[in-house]
Structures are given as structure tokens and as C-alpha cells.
Structure 1
């Protein structure tokens, strides 16, 4: 790594973390003041609530901090005449934009990686703390379809991955063939393990000599592969998001069940592609920024750059919400604007 690249990255990361921490704490502070009467009285739960809200704030402030960090770093280098000195040392614009772009791209990929984990459920956990004084919220009276099975859960705890009072109706076309009841079911190794099972067989009767229905009792029964509790809970609690890994599983699962997956697809597109607006917007802003401050009002230009960033972010966020509600296709609302921004950034990088 060259010396000027190391210098730019260090300054950029310093400004990024200062802005990111400030925006995150501001978000948490405003939320605590707004919901002070609704959050739990326990100090431990209040700390947990603030922590989860801070994690939830990352979804909003991280992309903005990535761009704002570049703006502050760039105009700081103009003010101290460092930028013009680098140009005078025969360092090209392309060489100077690379540290900004690569660093922002690494931060974006790290954020996308976080959304593959339980980090994506921070908002759900904070909402559960506010409503139920508990991280986990048990869903009740779930009725879902899985291939030729209709499954009823009296109570589901997605965090513990345990369901209570489970009833499964197996059908052949429109005929009921089997009813399976279990007092408790646990999700282990991508399968549900039913305990204390009662199986009622309903055979097809063609004559009086045929055997009638019979009841079979089994201690344990393994079935319902890849029927993940988190997927079921988030279909029930439709206002919450899925992690990337759970979203991919849900998309595969419900696509085979002929279920509308527009919300799941919009959530996945938002988590996978939306964050990339930040590094590519950095390239566009970099090539539109002045090289020196002698002929420009730097405060006005920096403010206009921040305003453009907020407009782009809010516009993309609005389109993602429209896609989640099924108003616009996810490919048009989320993927197309990002591809367009990538094309504009590539044009500036290749032509300027």
C-alpha cells in the first residue's frame, strides 16, 4: 500500500467512525426519549433495548456515514491544501478515489455480512422488549401449508425453536388421509422432532370389509424438513424482516408452495443491493467535487453534497418500501437504481 493511500484510508476511517457513532447515538437517544414511557422499568432490559436499537440504527446510519465520511475527508484535504499537493505530485484522480471506494466497499460488504446473522432481528427484539418485556415473542395459532400437509401450531417460540400443541393434517388431493398430533415439537438439524405423537389414519373405504380408521401412538417422530421456525414466525409477524440466510430459505420454501414471495424478495434485495449505493455514490461525488477551494464556497458545496446524499438515500429507501408492499417489482424499485448508479460511477471513472 502506498503512503498516500494509507494516509487517506486512516483519515477516512477516523471521520467515518466519528460520524457513525454520533448518528447512531443520536438515533438511540431520540428513540429513548420518544418511547421512555413504553420501555421496561428494569435497568437490564433498558440497556438491552438501547443496544438493540443501536444495532437497528446501523441499517440507516451506516450507508450515510460511509458517504458523509468521504465528504468530510475530501473537503478537509482541500482546506489543508493536501489534495492539491497530491495532484502536484503527479497522483491521478483515479489513484485518489481508489482508497475511498475500496474502504467503503469493504465496510458495505461487512454490513451485508452482518445481515446474514441474528443482527437482522435487532428491531424485532427491541419491539418485543417494549411490548412484552421479553426478547422472544411467542406466536400463537399459526396455520401453514407445507407440500401436502396443513400444519397448526397452538404456540411457537422461534427463539427456543419449540412449538406446542402441534396438529398436522396430511391430504391426498382433497382427501384427508392422516392426522398427526403432538404435545411438543423441537426443531433440530433442519427437522422437527415431534414428541408424544398420536397418529390417526383415515384409509379409503371401498367396501364394508375394509379396515376403518386406526390410531397409532409414537414416542418420537421426525418430519417437516427445512420448515424453519424463524421463517414461520416472520411470515406471521409480517412487519419484521428476515436475515439474508433465512430470507433465501424462505424464498425457496414458499416458492414451491405457490405463495406470494414479493415481500421476502424485496427484503432480500434491500439487504443485498441497497447498501451498494454508498460506495458508488462516493465515486460520483468525488468526480463532481472541486479540486481546490479558491473559487468555490466550500461550505455550500459540502452541504449540497450532503443534501444530494440524503435525497438519493431517501429515494432508494422509499422505492424499497414500495417494493415490500408489492406496489413495484423489486427488480425495478431496488436493483435497477443501483445498476444505474453503478453505470454512472463507471462512466465518470472511465471518462474523467
Structure 2
């Protein structure tokens, strides 16, 4: 790695961390001021709430910090005449941009990888602490369909992966075959393990003196493969905070049920592709910034670049919300704007 590249990366990362931490504290400060009266009295829960909110804030703060750090680095080098000195030494605009671009891309890829983890549920946990003074809450009265099974959970705890008072109605060719009743159930290794199970089998009513109901009892029974509690809880409540892995599993599951999956597609596409707008904007901004400040108002340039960054982020956020509500197809709402932005950024970067 060349000396000027190390210098650019070090300056960029320094500006990024300063801006990122400042925006994080700003977000947390505003949030705590507005929710102070609702916070639980427990100090432990207050700390957990602050931690989860800070993780949730990363979704908004990090992509903007990536862009603002590029603007701060470039403008400071223009004002100190470092940029024009690099150009005089033979460093092209493209060569100047690439170290910053790849640094930003690496940060965004780390962030995207976090969306595959429980990091995506930080907002849910903080809301639970604020409203119920606990991280996990029970969902009551769920009634869902899975293949030929109609499933009722009286109570479901998606974090502990447990449910109580479970009833499963197995239907084949519009005819009820049997009913499973269980006091407790736990999701273990891709299956629900039911305890204290009663199975009521309905025989075919061919004659009046035929067999009656058959009742079988089991201490333990495995059923409902891949019926993941976190997925069904979030889909039932209409939440958008699914991790990418859970959203993919839910997409596969609900496609088999013939259910509309626009919201799940939006969750996956928005978490995988929308954050990439930040490094793409860096390529565009780099092609629009001057080399020296003598003939340009750098304050005005900074303001315009920040405004464009916020406007772009806002538009992409708007498109994702429209897709979430099935107003626009997810592929159209997210992929077309991102592809257009990618093509324009590459054109801006390679043009002379």
C-alpha cells in the first residue's frame, strides 16, 4: 500500500469514528430526553435500554457517518491544499477516491453482516423494556396455518422459544383427521417438542355403530418442523425487524403457504442493498468536488453534498416503506433505484 493511501485511510477512519460517535450520542440524547419519564426504575433495565437503542441507532447513523466522513476528509484536504498537492504529485482523482471508497465499503459490509444476526432485534428489545420492563414478552392468541395444520398458541414467548396451551388441528381434504393438545412446547433443533400431549383421532363415520373418538396420550411428541417461533411472532405482529436469515426462512415458509411475501422481500432487499448507497455516493461526490478552494465556497459545497446525501437516503427509505406496504413491487422500489445509483456512480468515477 502506498504512503498516500495509508494517509487517506487513516484520516478517513479518524473522521468516521468521530462523526459516528457524535451522531450516536446525539441520537441517544434525544431519545433519552423523550423517553425519560417512561424508563423503568431498574438501573439494569435502563442500561439495557440504552445499549439496545444505541445498537438500533446504528441503522441510521452508520451509513450517514460513512458519507459525512468522506465530505469532512475531502473538504479539510481542499482547505489545507493537500488535495492539490497530491494531484501535482500525479495522484489522479480515481486513485484518490479508491482508498476512501474501499474503506467505506468495508464498513458497510460489516454492517450488512450484522443484519444476519440478532442485532436486527435491538429495537424490539428496547421497546419491550420501555413498555413491559422486560426484554421478552408473550404473544397471546396466535392462530396460524402450516401446510395441513391449523395451529393455536395461547401464549408464545419467541425469545425463550416456548409456548403454552397448544392446539394443532390436522386437516386433510377438508376433513379433520386429528387434534393435538399440549400444555407446553419448546422449539428445539428445527422442531417443536410438545409435552403432556393428548391426541384425539376422529375416525371416519361410516356407520352409526362404528368406532368413536380415539384418545392417545404422550409424554413427549415432535412436530411442526421449521415452524420457528421468532418468525411467526414477528409476522403475526406485522413487525419489520427480522434478521436477513429469519426473513429468508420466513420467505421460504410463507411461499409454500401461498401467502403474500412482499414485506419479507422488502426486508431482505432493503437490508442487503440500501446501505450500499453510502459508498456509491462517495464515488459521485468525489467527482463533483473541486481541487482547490480559491474559486469555490467549500462551506456551500459541504452543505449541498450533505443535503444530497440526506435526500438520497430519505428517498430510498420512502421507497422501502412503499414496498413494505405492497404499494410498489420490492424489486422495483429497491433494486431499480440502487442499480441506477450504481451505474451513475461508476460513470461519474471513470469519466475524465
Match of 1:230 in 2: 230
Secondary structure, in 3 states, of the residue corresponding to 2:38?
Answer: coil
Match of 2:78 in 1: 78
CA distance in 1, matches of 2:287, 2:348: 7
Unpaired segments ≥5 residues, structure 1: none
How many correspondences in the alignment?
A: 352
Match of 1:30 in 2: 30
Offset, 1:201: 0.4
CA distance in 2, matches of 1:192, 1:301: 58
Match of 1:52 in 2: 52
Match of 1:176 in 2: 176
Offset, 1:327: 1.2
Match of 2:325 in 1: 325
Match of 1:300 in 2: 300
Equivalent residues of 1:169, 1:178 under 8 A apart: yes
Secondary structure, in 3 states, of the residue corresponding to 1:207?
Answer: coil
Offset, 1:178: 0.6
* Alignment of 1:220 onto 2:214: no
- Deviations 1:208-258 (CA, angstroms, capped at 9, x unpaired): 464222000011111111110000110122134100110000000011101
Equivalent residues of 1:139, 1:236 under 8 A apart: no
Match of 2:157 in 1: 157
- Deviations 1:10-47 (CA, angstroms, capped at 9, x unpaired): 11011011111111111111011011111111111111
Unpaired segments ≥5 residues, structure 2: none
Offset, 1:193: 0.4
Match of 1:2 in 2: 2
Equivalent residues of 2:283, 2:349 under 8 A apart: yes
Secondary structure, in 3 states, of the residue corresponding to 2:165?
Answer: strand
Equivalent residues of 1:162, 1:187 under 8 A apart: yes
Equivalent residues of 1:141, 1:153 under 8 A apart: yes
Match of 2:263 in 1: 263
Match of 2:14 in 1: 14
Match of 2:274 in 1: 274
CA distance in 2, matches of 1:351, 1:81: 24
Please tell me the root mean square deviation across aligned C-alpha atoms, in Å: 1.0
- Deviations 1:322-342 (CA, angstroms, capped at 9, x unpaired): 111111111111111111000
Equivalent residues of 1:123, 1:240 under 8 A apart: no
Secondary structure, in 3 states, of the residue corresponding to 1:145?
Answer: strand
TM-score scaled by length of structure 1: 0.98
CA distance in 1, matches of 2:208, 2:167: 29
CA distance in 1, matches of 2:327, 2:140: 29
Equivalent residues of 2:240, 2:267 under 8 A apart: no
Match of 2:285 in 1: 285
CA distance in 2, matches of 1:305, 1:314: 14
CA distance in 2, matches of 1:307, 1:347: 21
Map 1:79-158; keep pairs closer than 5 Å.
79-158=79-158
CA distance in 1, matches of 2:236, 2:29: 30
Secondary structure, in 3 states, of the residue corresponding to 1:192?
Answer: strand
The 4+ residue runs of structure 1 with deviation greater than 6 A are none
